[in-house]
């Protein structure tokens, strides 16, 4: 027996299987000594008694408890039936993935083992009636082990060399099997679950799959890959993890990578003479192996082509995992299964931060807890940043004062190591892509894809390609609704690069030095200044812009209500020339524009809340001007001639109080898609807004006192004194009118960079009509008649609010796409019966319909607001009362101050799916009995139920209760309710995060709020 202690009898690194009379005192003794010298715990049976027909229980446990079995196949190995039975069991465990097997062909030819010839001929056993039935399984075991990679003595110079090679291989394989404890890594289970469907490890077919793990730098791709490798290794006969190819192997050639792959998978030190030859060797040598290969940190296509260009290079069931920041690289390789690593949410970020900063513990005080939240938020969910900040703070003295200083330092200056990690992706870009990224980081984070691309490259589609490349490189994200978003730390990195280069003016505290001394301003390409953050006022001369020859983007902005801008302008003697694509200047202080624009280059002119009286005179040909925004320019008297602005798309004229109209030529602009304006003519001289059909095309006409403008119907928003007419039968007075037909822009992240920009179908729109007064006055003279509903194809949202409409005709049922409907503030007694035909209607708001008495059948509606419908008697028509309650889809119901609903309990019993219910300002003394049966109810509001005395009818599903101003509800009712909460929460204490009671002792009323679960519903904020 081996010298290993008895306590390790079933826990070994290596089990030696051998024929004693052949090898015990030769190769096996040398092998055992060499393994022991490497610290490899090895089982060697020195006192084997070959008795009976079964392997002893001790040997059985030793084999099962070992990581590897080294089988020494010698000349007399097959003469022992116990050796063959042992081999049969070993190969069964190997097939099940429970052990690794390493064959040693000691003075025998592997082909003799494979074909059972020579000394491995088993015919003698076949003639033995007691052994014959075992021979087929022995043959199968011998063939299987002969096919495994091992060592043959005939290929070694001497036994010492052979032993050394065996021990090195076992040592290497053992090191690769070492398990890593990933249990404490936050979010690892979510990642593993997300990858499960891509890996398809349970699939019956033997396909070879390539899987990409993609995401920005520092997101944790390598950690995810390591967790995956650790979990899957035991399922593969051959495996290799090559870490950080872009870093560790940056200065090494592809032949070195191929050599490392072959050596670590096969144990052979092969250096191909060329990369092409290396590909052939990999395919030939690994084509029969089930391989788990992880290529981590790939940043160049040639790396994948050198190591794993085609799936046919690897044996059935192999898995190739590639981690990269570049999705375009994966697309080029034809990798379809891609897992995106994403930032942690706030809760997981905080958990990870505490885990590192407090070494598994918790903050020792409220001050530390507050500082922990601040520090964790600075990382914006990026795991590497969370780790860096947590380790930095863990090294501080255990005092809140020092932590406060450290957190303030992190808020001012990001961690340099994190910045360098993020900068790797930027440095790998082409020059044009770098410039595009820097401008997006400094100016356009959060803007629409369409706006960014139009500003970056005028009149070409090249910027579409730039944006897609940046998205594929994980530097930007293009959201599903068409916005360009940068991670906060990536944005900071880009701004720092631009500031250091002198191409960007963006520091409010240094604006004085930059513009006063004019050092290097000739290199300036963009300006972005938040004037509210300037420490003092500063006056600049317009002539400064004449020195900025490369200036393309100017963005000077401020809070609307922050008074006068701290950046003032002194006009010069002449107009300096500007070659800008964007001029955005909030609260521009001058009455005229003292600038001479390159009329070809200007794309956007935004001068919100300016002091301008005029813009320019004459008809200037701004060939690429797409947006003109002078919102809030209270002194603007008239618009310039825009007839030559051939691409004008958006015109913003809200709150321009002195503007009396717009030129008729604007209506001739076929490109104009958005118009917002305010009109202040007074009730006696309203602006006429007419929508009508002209040859099957909807047109809109604006009738100003000074003239009329007719144009194709588009996105239009008008505030002020309005007289509207929608086709022939809908007309009246309003204070707000809007019509929108917004195209739904889809994300482009998964689109190949070689594809053209995606076009939007005319059917892919979200159309809305909104006509309203801003306040509701009961019994006011009706201001409109709706004899029939206008036919607007594709209408998804209709709002007719505070118009005191007396009657709505049938005919609304033809709006087949209608999803949101708001008739609040009208004097209707009933709704059109054909509303039940609106199959897509999900949201219906009828707030302040004080004369409404009943509702039609509305089984499809999910959110219904009936606040202050004081005449409402019934929610369900008597003819519908016997129907199955399951047909109603209602999830949210607001019945506050609807005191006249008859048989409220019976009415509510039809809405079994309710999750939110507002019964505020009712007169009941006890809750409607049917509430206890609303088993999905999460939130209930009972504010100002002055007569309510009991809380006994609440269901166990309830998580939030709002009961402010319930004067008659006493402490006993509270105690009873709290007792029920404790009873329910006792079912699963881990779910209860807080149970809070607020008592207001200064008045007989009180407010109670119970929270069960993690956070309040975002749409229903409860008062504290």
Please indicate, yes or no, whether residues 14 and 159 belong to a single structural domain of this protein.
Answer: yes
Pairing of the two strands 715-726 and 730-743: antiparallel
pLDDT in tens, 394-403: 877 677 888 8
Please indicate, yes or no, whether residues 247 and 260 belong to a single structural domain of this protein.
Answer: yes
Whether 591 is covered by a domain: the verdict is: no
- For the chain, the average pLDDT equals 82
CATH of the domain at 36: 3.40.50.10140
Q: Which of 924, 961, 971, 929 is nearest to 946 (CA)?
A: 924
Q: Is the dihedral of CA 1001, 1006, 1010, 1015 positive or negative?
A: negative
What end-to-end distance do the CA atoms of the chain give, in Å? 74
Whether 836 is covered by a domain: the verdict is: yes
**Token pair in block for residue 616:** 């320019």
- CA R_g for the chain: 38
Q: Is the dihedral of CA 905, 909, 911, 913 positive or negative?
A: positive
- Residue 744 pLDDT: 46
Separation of alpha carbons 139 and 121, rounded Å: 10
What is the count of structural domains for the chain? 6
Separation of alpha carbons 436 and 909, rounded Å: 59
* 291, 238 Cβ separation under 8 angstroms: yes
Pairing of the two strands 916-918 and 939-941: parallel
Whether 31 is covered by a domain: the verdict is: yes
Separation of alpha carbons 717 and 818, rounded Å: 20
Separation of alpha carbons 474 and 332, rounded Å: 16
SS3 of residue 863 by DSSP: strand
Separation of alpha carbons 714 and 739, rounded Å: 7
Separation of alpha carbons 255 and 278, rounded Å: 7
Whether 629 is covered by a domain: the verdict is: no
**Token pair in block for residue 592:** 């005229």
Separation of alpha carbons 1016 and 350, rounded Å: 18
Please indicate, yes or no, whether residues 895 and 928 belong to a single structural domain of this protein.
Answer: no
Q: Which of 626, 443, 430 is nearest to 526 (CA)?
A: 443
pLDDT in tens, 627-659: 999 999 999 988 888 888 888 899 999 999 888
SS3 of residue 342 by DSSP: coil
Please indicate, yes or no, whether residues 310 and 389 belong to a single structural domain of this protein.
Answer: no
Tally of CB atoms within 10 A around 511: 22
CATH of the domain at 194: 3.40.50.300
Cα-based distances in Å from 3 to 8, 22, 150, 971 = 10, 21, 26, 75
Angle CA(479)–CA(481)–CA(487) in degrees, nearest 5? 25
Return the percent helix, strand and coil in the chain, to nearest 5: 35, 20, 45
pLDDT in tens, 575-610: 677 788 999 999 888 888 877 777 788 899 999 999
Quick one: which H or E segment has residue 941?
A: strand 939-941
Please indicate, yes or no, whether residues 433 and 381 belong to a single structural domain of this protein.
Answer: no
CATH of the domain at 792: 3.80.10.10
Q: Which of 786, 796, 871 is nearest to 832 (CA)?
A: 786
Pairing of the two strands 66-73 and 12-17: parallel
SS3 of residue 493 by DSSP: helix
Please indicate, yes or no, whether residues 320 and 225 belong to a single structural domain of this protein.
Answer: yes
Please indicate, yes or no, whether residues 925 and 908 belong to a single structural domain of this protein.
Answer: no
Quick one: which H or E segment has residue 391?
A: helix 383-394
Cα-based distances in Å from 296 to 223, 552, 937 = 10, 40, 48
Beta-carbon contacts of 307 under 8 Å, excluding residues fewer than 6 positions away, are 242, 257, 258, 261, 282, 293, 295
Please indicate, yes or no, whether residues 413 and 433 belong to a single structural domain of this protein.
Answer: no
CATH of the domain at 453: 1.10.10
Q: How far is CA 769 from the centre of its chain?
A: 32
- Residue 1009 pLDDT: 44
Whether 309 is covered by a domain: the verdict is: yes
Separation of alpha carbons 283 and 258, rounded Å: 11
Please indicate, yes or no, whether residues 168 and 219 belong to a single structural domain of this protein.
Answer: no
Q: Which of 650, 673, 545 is nearest to 603 (CA)?
A: 650
For the chain, helix (H) and strand (E) counts, in that order, are 27, 41
DSSP characters for 719-777? EEEEEEEETTTEEEEEEEEEEEEEE-PPP-TTS-TTSPPPP--TTSEEEEEEEE-SS--
Whether 624 is covered by a domain: the verdict is: no
**Token pair in block for residue 90:** 């070993």
Separation of alpha carbons 738 and 772, rounded Å: 9
Q: Please give the DSSP secondary-structure letter assigned to residue 505.
A: E
Quick one: which H or E segment has residue 241?
A: strand 238-242
Below-70 pLDDT ranges, the chain: 1-10, 47-55, 176-183, 397, 458-460, 516-520, 562-563, 573-575, 669, 693-697, 728, 742-766, 782-787, 878-885, 971-1024
Please indicate, yes or no, whether residues 331 and 352 belong to a single structural domain of this protein.
Answer: no
Q: Beta partners for 241?
A: 294
Q: How far is CA 198 from the centre of its chain?
A: 18
Please indicate, yes or no, whether residues 1014 and 969 belong to a single structural domain of this protein.
Answer: yes
Separation of alpha carbons 173 and 170, rounded Å: 5
- Final residue belonging to a domain, choices 291, 312, 340: 340
- Final residue belonging to a domain, choices 441, 458, 489: 489
- Final residue belonging to a domain, choices 391, 419, 447: 419
Whether 222 is covered by a domain: the verdict is: yes
Separation of alpha carbons 940 and 977, rounded Å: 14
Separation of alpha carbons 969 and 966, rounded Å: 6
Separation of alpha carbons 331 and 750, rounded Å: 9
The parent domain of residue 458 ranges over 429-489
- Residue 742 pLDDT: 66
Whether 484 is covered by a domain: the verdict is: yes
Separation of alpha carbons 382 and 377, rounded Å: 10
Cα-based distances in Å from 746 to 134, 444, 761 = 65, 19, 11
Please indicate, yes or no, whether residues 28 and 169 belong to a single structural domain of this protein.
Answer: yes
């Amino acid at each position: 027996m081996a010298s290993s202690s008895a306590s390790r009898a079933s826990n070994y690194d290596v089990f030696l299987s051998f024929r004693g009379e052949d090898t015990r005192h030769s190769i096996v003794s040398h092998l055992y000594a060499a393994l022991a010298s490497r610290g490899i715990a090895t089982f060697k049976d020195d006192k084997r008694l070959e008795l009976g027909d079964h392997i002893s229980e001790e040997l059985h446990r030793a084999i099962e408890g070992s990581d590897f079995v080294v089988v020494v196949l010698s000349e007399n190995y097959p003469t022992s039936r116990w050796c063959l039975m042992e081999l049969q069991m070993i190969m069964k465990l190997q097939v099940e993935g429970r052990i690794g097997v390493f064959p040693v062909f000691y003075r025998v030819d592997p082909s003799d083992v494979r074909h059972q010839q020579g000394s491995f001929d088993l015919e003698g056993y076949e003639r033995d009636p007691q052994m014959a039935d075992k021979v087929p399984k022995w043959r199968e075991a011998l063939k299987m082990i002969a096919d495994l990679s091992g060592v043959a003595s005939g290929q070694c110079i001497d036994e010492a060399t052979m032993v050394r090679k065996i021990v090195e291989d076992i040592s290497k394989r053992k090191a690769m099997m070492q398990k890593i404890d990933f249990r404490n890594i936050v979010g690892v289970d979510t990642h593993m679950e997300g990858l499960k469907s891509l890996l398809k490890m349970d699939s019956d077919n033997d396909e070879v799959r390539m899987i990409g793990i993609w995401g920005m730098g520092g997101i944790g791709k390598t950690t995810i890959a390591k967790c995956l490798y650790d979990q899957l290794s035991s399922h593969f006969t051959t495996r290799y993890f090559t870490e950080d190819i872009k870093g560790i192997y940056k200065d090494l050639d592809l032949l070195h990578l191929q050599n490392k792959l072959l050596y670590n998978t096969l144990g052979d030190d092969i250096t191909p003479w060329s990369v092409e030859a290396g590909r052939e060797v990999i395919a030939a040598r690994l084509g029969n192996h089930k391989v788990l290969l992880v290529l981590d940190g790939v940043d160049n296509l040639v790396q994948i082509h050198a190591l794993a260009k085609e799936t046919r290079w690897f044996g059935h069931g192999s898995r190739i995992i590639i981690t990269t920041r570049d999705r375009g690289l994966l697309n080029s390789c034809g990798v379809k299964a891609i897992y995106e690593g994403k930032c942690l949410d706030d809760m997981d970020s905080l958990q990870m931060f505490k885990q590192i900063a407090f070494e598994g513990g918790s903050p020792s005080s409220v001050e530390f807890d507050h500082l922990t939240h601040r520090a964790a938020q600075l990382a914006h969910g990026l795991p590497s940043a969370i780790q860096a900040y947590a380790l930095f703070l863990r090294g501080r003295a255990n005092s809140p004062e020092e932590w406060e200083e450290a957190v303030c330092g992190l808020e001012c200056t990001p961690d340099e190591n994190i910045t360098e990690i993020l900068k790797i992706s930027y440095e790998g870009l082409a020059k044009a892509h770098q410039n595009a990224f820097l401008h997006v980081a400094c100016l356009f984070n959060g803007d629409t894809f369409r706006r960014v691309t139009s500003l970056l490259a005028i009149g070409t589609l090249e910027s579409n390609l730039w944006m897609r490349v940046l998205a594929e490189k994980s530097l930007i994200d293009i959201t599903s609704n068409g916005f360009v978003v940068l991670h906060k730390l990536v944005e900071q990195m880009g701004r720092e690069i631009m500031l250091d280069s002198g191409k960007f003016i963006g520091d409010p505290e240094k604006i004085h030095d930059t513009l006063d001394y004019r050092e290097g301003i000739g290199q300036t390409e963009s300006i972005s200044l938040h004037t509210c953050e300037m420490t003092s006022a500063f006056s600049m001369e317009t002539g400064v812009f004449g020195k900025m020859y490369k200036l393309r983007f100017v963005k000077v902005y401020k809070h609307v209500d922050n008074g006068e801008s701290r950046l003032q302008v002194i006009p010069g003697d002449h107009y300096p020339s500007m070659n800008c694509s964007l001029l955005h200047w909030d609260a521009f202080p001058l009455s005229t524009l003292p600038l001479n624009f390159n009329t070809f280059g200007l794309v956007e002119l935004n001068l919100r809340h300016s002091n301008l009286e005029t813009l320019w005179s004459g008809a200037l040909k701004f060939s690429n001007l797409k947006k003109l925004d002078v919102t809030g320019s209270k002194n603007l008297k008239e618009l310039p001639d825009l007839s030559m602005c051939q691409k004008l798309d958006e015109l913003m004229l809200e709150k321009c109080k002195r503007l009396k109209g717009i030129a008729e030529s604007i209506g001739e602009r076929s490109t104009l898609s958005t118009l917002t304006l305010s009109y202040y003519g007074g009730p006696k001289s309203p602006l006429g807004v007419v929508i009508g059909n002209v040859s099957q095309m909807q047109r809109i006409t604006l009738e100003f006192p000074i003239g009329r403008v007719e144009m194709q119907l588009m996105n239009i928003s008008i505030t002020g004194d309005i007289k509207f007419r929608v086709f022939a039968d809908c007309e009246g007075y309003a204070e707000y009118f809007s019509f929108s037909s917004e195209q739904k822009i889809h994300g482009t992240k998964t689109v190949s960079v070689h594809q053209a920009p995606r076009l939007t179908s005319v059917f892919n729109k979200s159309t809305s009509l909104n006509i309203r007064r801003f306040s509701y006055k009961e019994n006011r003279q009706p201001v409109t008649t709706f004899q029939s509903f206008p036919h607007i194809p594709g209408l998804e949202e209709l709002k007719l609010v505070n118009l005191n409409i007396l009657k709505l005709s049938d005919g609304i049922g033809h709006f087949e796409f209608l999803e949101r409907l708001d008739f609040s503030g009208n004097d209707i007694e009933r709704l059109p019966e054909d509303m039940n035909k609106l199959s897509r209607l999900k949201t219906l708001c009828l707030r302040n319909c004080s004369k409404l008495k009943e509702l039609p059948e509305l089984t499809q509606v999910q959110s219904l607001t009936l606040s202050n419908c004081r005449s409402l008697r019934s929610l369900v028509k008597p003819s519908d009362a016997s129907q199955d309650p399951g047909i109603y889809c209602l999830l949210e119901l607001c019945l506050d101050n609807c005191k006249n609903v008859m048989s409220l309990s019976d009415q509510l019993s039809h809405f079994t799916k309710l999750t939110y219910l507002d019964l505020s300002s009712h007169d009941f003394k006890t809750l409607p009995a049917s509430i206890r049966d609303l088993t999905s109810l999460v939130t209930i509001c009972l504010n100002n139920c002055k007569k309510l005395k009991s809380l006994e009818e609440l269901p166990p599903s309830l998580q939030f209760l709002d009961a402010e101003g319930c004067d008659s509800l006493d402490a006993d009712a509270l105690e009873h309710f709290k007792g029920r909460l404790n009873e329910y929460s006792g079912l699963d204490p881990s779910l209860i995060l807080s149970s809070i009671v607020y008592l207001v002792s200064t008045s007989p009323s009180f407010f109670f709020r119970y929270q069960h679960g993690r956070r309040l519903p975002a749409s229903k904020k409860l008062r504290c």
